């Protein structure tokens, strides 16, 4: 990963597309086995991870979207 960059997790509602930051992901070797606790993501329809400048972003940089997963609530 480039220096001064972080992975940021997003909660998404899809119609209309509305991203909400769930924070940045720890990348230190000591954190590899930690679970990420997510609060208040009840309306989430998908999750995405982007690469952002250190400190995170107010909105996802879609050109650096690394993963997107839609939740099947069926």
- The band of 72, judged by pLDDT with boundaries at 50, 70 and 90, is confident
Closest to 48 in 3D by CA, of 15, 25, 74, 31: 25
- Cα 43 to Cα 27: distance, rounded to the nearest angstrom: 27
Closest to 48 in 3D by CA, of 19, 16, 8, 10: 10
| pLDDT at position 22 | 92
Residues of the chain above pLDDT 70, percent: 89
pTM: predicted TM-score of the whole model, two decimal places: 0.83
Determine the structural domain holding residue 39 and report its residue range: 5-70
| pLDDT at position 8 | 95
Number of domains in the chain: 1
């Amino acid at each position: 990963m480039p220096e001064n960059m972080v992975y940021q997790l997003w909660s998404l509602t899809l119609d209309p597309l509305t991203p909400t930051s769930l924070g940045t992901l720890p990348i230190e070797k000591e954190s590899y086995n930690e679970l990420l606790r997510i609060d208040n993501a009840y309306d989430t329809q998908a999750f995405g991870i982007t690469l952002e400048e250190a400190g995170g972003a107010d909105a996802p940089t879609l050109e650096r979207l690394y993963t997107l997963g839609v939740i099947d609530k069926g």
